[in-house]
Chain A
Amino acid sequence: MNFLTHFALAAPRTFIWGTVAITFVLMALVAAPTLSPPIAQFLQPLSIDADPENMLVYDEPVRVFNREKKDTFSLYDLIVIGVVNDNHKDGVFSVASLSDIYDLAEFAKDTQWTNKQGEVEGVVPVDLIAPSTMEDVRQAGPGAVDFNWLMDGPPQTQAEALDVRDRSLNQPILHGSLISEDGRSIALYIPITSKGVSYRVAQQLRERIASYDSGDQYWITGLPVAQDQFGVEMFIQMGITTPLATGLLFFLLWFFFRNLTLVASPIMVAMLSVTITVCLLIATGHSIHIMTSMIPIFVMPIAVLDSIHILSEFHDRYPEFQNRRKTVKHVMSKLALPMFFTSITTGIGFLSLNFMPIPPLQAFGTFVGIGVVVAWLLTVTLIPAYIVLMPERKFKNFGLNKTTDSREPSSFLHGALPALGAGAIRYSRPILLLMIPIAALAFYGATQIVANDNPVKWFGKEHNIRQADAVLNSAFGGSYMAYLALGTNQDTESFGIYIDELEARILAQDLAKRDMLALLVREISKTVTSRTDLLSALLADVEERLRSTKSDDEISAWEDTLSFLDTERAQTEIFKDPEVLAYMNNLQTFIEKDAAVGKSNSVVEIVKTVYRELISGEEADYRIPDSGAGVAQTLITFQNSHRPHDLWHYVTPDYQEANIWVQMKSGDNQDMSRVDALVAQYFADNPPPRNLTHQWFGLNYINVVWQDYITVGTAKALAGSFIIITLLLMVLFRSVLWGLLAVVPLGFSIAMLYGGIGLAGKSLDAPISILGAISLGLAVDYAIHFVMRSRDIAKEQSNWPDTARIVFGEPARAIARNVLILGVGFLPLLIAPLIPYKVVGVMLSGILILAGIATLIILPALMSLLEGRLFNFRPAGANS
């Protein structure tokens, strides 16, 4: 028996109240800074992080690039609001609907606040996309162009409302983005300062929308809303389902052991373990993240598991001893070592998740590991302490009574399990033969697994977010934003050659200052590394000389020089080059053929639209001008508008970088990956002009990267943990064979789990791959209990069938009760509207049943087969 149990039995009250006191101190350490930060400023408050991007470390290259490019092109994460009206003949293009939309856009502009750090948070009004904030450029009679707001106020007549529609439809950059493809609906794109404010902004907008009565439907979506909303609902779900699961566990424990006071003890252990673990997590400065929020759901079953072993054994043995203290001592002497082994292996299994470079996964692994150890400590001390504190009279008629009515569940197990054990031994060969095709099928299934995820699909189909997603993505270009950054490596590559060529061009010019300029080129080129930097420095130098001279001849000479350098610089402005724009145009046409790509916007659409309106307004003139100067003058015309800065979302002011805004109809990372591959293929098949380079960014692309980390990464982490657990068991059992045997149920559960997912065609998403980890905690536990008890019992028996008969008594009952109690206890998670929680519920039950089957059928079958190598039985008769 464990020395801790000795102490606990010696001073049971001290142990129970001591643990409760420690828990309250920890809770206070968390509550103080959370509720009153100024007083407890040296402690860590509770902080919530619902941003899946934080699955990747802050300095992950893809995140660094994303931040850089969002800054370069002044892009923000977007909340998308679709407005639909099925009753009016013109959809939302009526006076009433557009008046509401106008009001909503005005309201959105004001949806800002100052946070504790004094920064303005909320909506970024200047980049809001709404009919009242956008404008068009169009023909206004012969020879005239007009820049006008699409809707500078609520329309007064139906004709004005239809004018807004017709003008929006005529702007390719708005068609499919602001206005639906069928011209009946409108989408507002609301940029926000950070993803973390999206729920608050969305809530304020929802309240405003609730005051409208024109019969329009407003659908709010976009990845930031979905992710932030998920974060919020996650906590609500934890708050509802965790108590429900606890309640059901409590009921099931009572159902099996019929002693209300007694079965309160495992619940107490589980709650204390969860509370201590979560408090430690928060107090050490970790934020509650999607992953770490699952810690209670993981720690709870593992904590209850060992308690059930104790209660089960206690229940079955009590009638024999009729004394609680004696029974507890007996039970603990049998279970101390298996419980220690299971806790050590499970704890190390979870701690090994630290090998993954994913911060939330590390925190998750560390604290589930800590939780397992805490649960073990509490189980081996508090449960015995609790039992000896209970008055003896509470145990009247308690325990396994062999004559009880057979309808009682414990009696059913009492009869069924030995039969199961006998069957497993008798048919060990057929069972193991049957396992071969099952294993093969599972392996095949596992190879069929497709890693795919989409945070929007974490919500149930009936959830508002999912419905909004469906509506918006059928009517508009798409609510998932991906951005393709284009650039060139021409600027720095072959810079040396460029210097020589520039010098040659200068000397070939009829410039009064050409020798001086050539000299300047040589001098300045020593201090810079790119063409654009060289030309900027030269231009600045010449401008300075121009300013400091008074002579007319000198002025004219330097002006000519300036003009030459200007022309040189225009050559470096690659995104004014019609050839480059044509390449982009073709690339966009190419990717838009993909079903997941709704539409794409770039500087090309701006150039073509303005050019069309400048020339004729006819479709035939919707094209790229022939010369770079033509492009430049088209763009400067565009910049005579109300929103000249809109251009810089698509191209940098030095025209060295461009951005294609790709609206996708799907947030599945399979789809994003396919489009990524399409672009790469296009670049490979069509060598781009000017050494164009490309790189994706944006939330939709980042999701692919971290989901890939999670799915592939967790699989790797699981494999690592599996190996570590196997090695550990070999050491603990001092036997390679026993070690391998003990991980068979774990291997079986994982294989079945992933094989089943593959065969069912369900894609492997982040929640599912994380959940694979819990099989570590449960499957290996049953196996260790089974194996250790078998070894123990075998010492006193002369053959395997006799041993097995005893093993299929109390030890097997404890495992079976575990399976039934935990398997049913987590089913309340099924009522959660968030898919990952349903998945947790189903998978927990599935894993428990699989682990139970593997432990109670496959293990004894294998042990029969390997009897000679595993056991060293005394010869028959030597016993008597």
Chain B
Amino acid sequence: MKYYFLIAFVLLSFPISTAHAQAPSAMDIVVKAVEAMNYAGGDVKARIDMRIIDSHGRERIRQMTMLRRNETSGYGPQKYYVLFSRPSDVKEMVFMAWKNTDRADDRWLYLPALDLVKRIAASDERTSFVGSHFFYEDVSGRNIDEDHHEFIEETDEYYVIKSTPKTPGDVEFTNYTSWVDKTTYLPIRIEYTGQRGEVYRTFSVQTVEVIQNHPTIIDVQMEDTAMGGKTVLHYSAVKYSIGIKENVFSERFLRRPPREYLR
């Protein structure tokens, strides 16, 4: 009698467990999503037009050219070089980052008007990126090991993943939910939930184009209801695999932008 019961139990639960096995794991989706968004091509150059719109609808612009180089294939260390061109008083300003997957990133800022290269201390990566609603971490991608990822559901178009920080004290959100496109694996929408259970920050992609076979985000915005307002990014002149040399991402090049890659 006992055995029949056990067999019945195993048989009944079998289809359910196979269904689990067939669905992609949350971690797989997260890795693919990060790779689709931040690792396409071995390297890339893009012009970014940033519009920061505050809660009063007042707008400021930043224009920059970004170089990015992957140090390994797939998810792993990377290097970023961002040269500002507008507004004119921040022209030639450079932001450089070495993304590390095993420890905090290394970041530098070059301020030409003060002829000053500053390392930004590795304390907190959830600070504003040049006054926008994007955090520095949103630009380079949050380390995937910092959160527990949980598969929520699969819709016609998206995998929905809920991520919860492993050390909640380090961040201002309690969790975030990502809608990852099932074909391109690009995260199309990310909602951050605050301490009171409210969605206060929303990342959303408006336009995606395929460039050199890579689905590429062209228009994206971050809206912040706590602070008010939003920041809109437009990517243009995107070129993948242009063969950027590693030494470009060094302190030496902060004062002397590598023109050959930036044209």
Residues on A facing B (Cβ under 8 Å): 71-72, 74, 110, 125-126, 140-141, 143-149, 152-153, 562-563, 566-567, 569-570, 573, 576, 611, 614-615, 625, 627-634, 636-637, 639-642, 644-645, 647-648, 652-654
Which of A125, A611, A639 has a CB less than 8 Å from the CB of B128? A639
Is B169 a contact partner of A153 (Cβ separation < 8 A)?
A: yes
Q: List 27 A-B contacts (CB under 8 A).
A: A110-B196, A126-B226, A143-B117, A143-B118, A143-B119, A145-B118, A146-B120, A147-B120, A147-B123, A148-B121, A566-B88, A569-B88, A573-B89, A629-B112, A630-B114, A632-B90, A633-B111, A633-B112, A636-B130, A636-B131, A639-B128, A640-B109, A640-B127, A640-B131, A644-B132, A645-B228, A653-B54
B residues in contact with A566, CB < 8 Å: 86-88
Is B56 a contact partner of A71 (Cβ separation < 8 A)?
A: yes
A residues in contact with B161, CB < 8 Å: none
Which of B54, B60, B113, B128 has a CB less than 8 Å from the CB of A633? B113
Of B93, B112, B114, most A-chain CB atoms within 10 Å: B114
Q: Output the nearest chain B residue to A109 by Cβ-Cβ distance.
A: B195
- Asked if B136 is an interface residue, CB under 8 A from chain A, the answer is yes
Q: Output the nearest chain B residue to A127 by Cβ-Cβ distance.
A: B227
- A-B contact sample (15 more), CB < 8 A, given A141-B121, A642-B126, A653-B54: A147-B124, A566-B86, A614-B111, A614-B114, A625-B114, A628-B89, A632-B89, A632-B90, A633-B113, A637-B118, A640-B109, A640-B128, A640-B136, A653-B52, A653-B58
A287 to B119, CA, bound (A): 60
Which of A126, A147, A570 has a CB less than 8 Å from the CB of B89? A570
Q: Output the nearest chain B residue to A536 by Cβ-Cβ distance.
A: B59
A46 to B129, CA, bound (A): 51
A654 to B59, CA, bound (A): 8
A628 to B228, CA, bound (A): 28
A residues in contact with B55, CB < 8 Å: 74
**In the complex with contacts A126-B226, A636-B130, A148-B89 CB distance below 8 A:** no
The 6 closest A-B pairs by CB, nearest first: A639-B131, A146-B121, A632-B89, A629-B113, A140-B121, A566-B88
- Asked if B242 is an interface residue, CB under 8 A from chain A, the answer is no
Which of A126, A145, A153, A639 has a CB less than 8 Å from the CB of B121? A145
A residues in contact with B127, CB < 8 Å: 147, 640-642
Which of A144, A573, A654 has a CB less than 8 Å from the CB of B119? A144
Residues on B facing A (Cβ under 8 Å): 52, 54-56, 58-60, 85-91, 93, 109, 111-114, 116-121, 123-124, 126-132, 136, 169, 196, 226-228
Q: How far is the CB of B115 from chain A (nearest CB, A)?
A: 10
Is A614 a contact partner of B118 (Cβ separation < 8 A)?
A: yes
Is A636 a contact partner of B113 (Cβ separation < 8 A)?
A: no
Is B123 a contact partner of A570 (Cβ separation < 8 A)?
A: no
A625 to B128, CA, bound (A): 23
Q: Output the nearest chain B residue to A576 by Cβ-Cβ distance.
A: B89
Is A152 a contact partner of B169 (Cβ separation < 8 A)?
A: yes
Q: How far is the CB of B189 from chain A (nearest CB, A)?
A: 23
**In the complex with contacts A636-B130, A636-B131, A644-B128, A615-B123 CB distance below 8 A:** no
A residues in contact with B89, CB < 8 Å: 570, 573, 576, 628-629, 631-633
Which of B112, B116, B227 has a CB less than 8 Å from the CB of A645? B227
Is B118 a contact partner of A144 (Cβ separation < 8 A)?
A: yes
Interface of A (DSSP majority class): helix
Q: How far is the CB of A78 from chain B (nearest CB, A)?
A: 19
- How many cross-chain pairs have Cβ atoms below 8 Å apart between A and B? 127
B residues in contact with A146, CB < 8 Å: 120-121, 123
Q: How far is the CB of B233 from chain A (nearest CB, A)?
A: 15
Which of B52, B112, B129 has a CB less than 8 Å from the CB of A640? B129
Q: Output the nearest chain A residue to B225 by Cβ-Cβ distance.
A: A126
A652 to B57, CA, bound (A): 12
Q: How far is the CB of A217 from chain B (nearest CB, A)?
A: 29
A647 to B132, CA, bound (A): 12
Is B114 a contact partner of A634 (Cβ separation < 8 A)?
A: yes
Q: Output the nearest chain B residue to A143 by Cβ-Cβ distance.
A: B119
Is B120 a contact partner of A640 (Cβ separation < 8 A)?
A: yes
B residues in contact with A567, CB < 8 Å: 88
B residues in contact with A652, CB < 8 Å: 58
A557 to B129, CA, bound (A): 30
Is B169 a contact partner of A633 (Cβ separation < 8 A)?
A: no
B residues in contact with A615, CB < 8 Å: 114, 116
Q: How far is the CB of A75 from chain B (nearest CB, A)?
A: 12
Of B52, B59, B87, most A-chain CB atoms within 10 Å: B87
Is B109 a contact partner of A637 (Cβ separation < 8 A)?
A: yes
Is A641 a contact partner of B87 (Cβ separation < 8 A)?
A: no
A100 to B32, CA, bound (A): 44
Which of B88, B109, B123, B132 has a CB less than 8 Å from the CB of A563? B88
A26 to B129, CA, bound (A): 63
Is A627 a contact partner of B113 (Cβ separation < 8 A)?
A: yes
Is B114 a contact partner of A633 (Cβ separation < 8 A)?
A: yes
Is A640 a contact partner of B124 (Cβ separation < 8 A)?
A: no
A residues in contact with B136, CB < 8 Å: 640
Is A625 a contact partner of B113 (Cβ separation < 8 A)?
A: yes
Q: How far is the CB of A665 from chain B (nearest CB, A)?
A: 32
Q: How far is the CB of A650 from chain B (nearest CB, A)?
A: 14
A563 to B91, CA, bound (A): 10
A630 to B114, CA, bound (A): 6
A residues in contact with B116, CB < 8 Å: 614-615
Q: How far is the CB of B34 from chain A (nearest CB, A)?
A: 23
Q: Output the nearest chain B residue to A552 by Cβ-Cβ distance.
A: B263
A residues in contact with B130, CB < 8 Å: 636, 639-640
A residues in contact with B117, CB < 8 Å: 143
Q: How far is the CB of A94 from chain B (nearest CB, A)?
A: 21
Of A110, A145, A637, A648, most B-chain CB atoms within 10 Å: A637
B residues in contact with A140, CB < 8 Å: 121, 123
Q: How far is the CB of A509 from chain B (nearest CB, A)?
A: 14
Q: Output the nearest chain B residue to A642 by Cβ-Cβ distance.
A: B127
A503 to B56, CA, bound (A): 32
A residues in contact with B109, CB < 8 Å: 145, 637, 640
Q: How far is the CB of A632 from chain B (nearest CB, A)?
A: 4
Is A653 a contact partner of B119 (Cβ separation < 8 A)?
A: no
B residues in contact with A654, CB < 8 Å: 58
**In the complex with contacts A110-B196, A636-B130, A642-B127, A569-B114 CB distance below 8 A:** no
Q: Output the nearest chain A residue to B52 by Cβ-Cβ distance.
A: A653
Q: How far is the CB of B209 from chain A (nearest CB, A)?
A: 15
B residues in contact with A147, CB < 8 Å: 120-121, 123-124, 127
A412 to B85, CA, bound (A): 97
Is B88 a contact partner of A653 (Cβ separation < 8 A)?
A: no
A residues in contact with B121, CB < 8 Å: 140-141, 144-148
B residues in contact with A648, CB < 8 Å: 54
A641 to B127, CA, bound (A): 5
Q: Output the nearest chain B residue to A648 by Cβ-Cβ distance.
A: B54
Q: How far is the CB of A612 from chain B (nearest CB, A)?
A: 12
B residues in contact with A145, CB < 8 Å: 109, 118-121
Q: Output the nearest chain A residue to B135 by Cβ-Cβ distance.
A: A642
Of A562, A576, A629, most B-chain CB atoms within 10 Å: A629
B residues in contact with A653, CB < 8 Å: 52, 54, 58-60
Is A125 a contact partner of B226 (Cβ separation < 8 A)?
A: yes
Q: Output the nearest chain A residue to B118 by Cβ-Cβ distance.
A: A145
A residues in contact with B131, CB < 8 Å: 636, 639-640, 644, 647
Is B129 a contact partner of A630 (Cβ separation < 8 A)?
A: no
Q: How far is the CB of A539 from chain B (nearest CB, A)?
A: 8
A residues in contact with B59, CB < 8 Å: 653
A residues in contact with B88, CB < 8 Å: 563, 566-567, 569-570, 629
A642 to B126, CA, bound (A): 7
A636 to B118, CA, bound (A): 13
A residues in contact with B93, CB < 8 Å: 633, 636
A180 to B58, CA, bound (A): 35
Is B126 a contact partner of A633 (Cβ separation < 8 A)?
A: no
Q: How far is the CB of A67 from chain B (nearest CB, A)?
A: 13
Q: How far is the CB of A307 from chain B (nearest CB, A)?
A: 60
**In the complex with contacts A146-B121, A636-B93, A639-B131, A562-B86 CB distance below 8 A:** yes
A145 to B123, CA, bound (A): 10
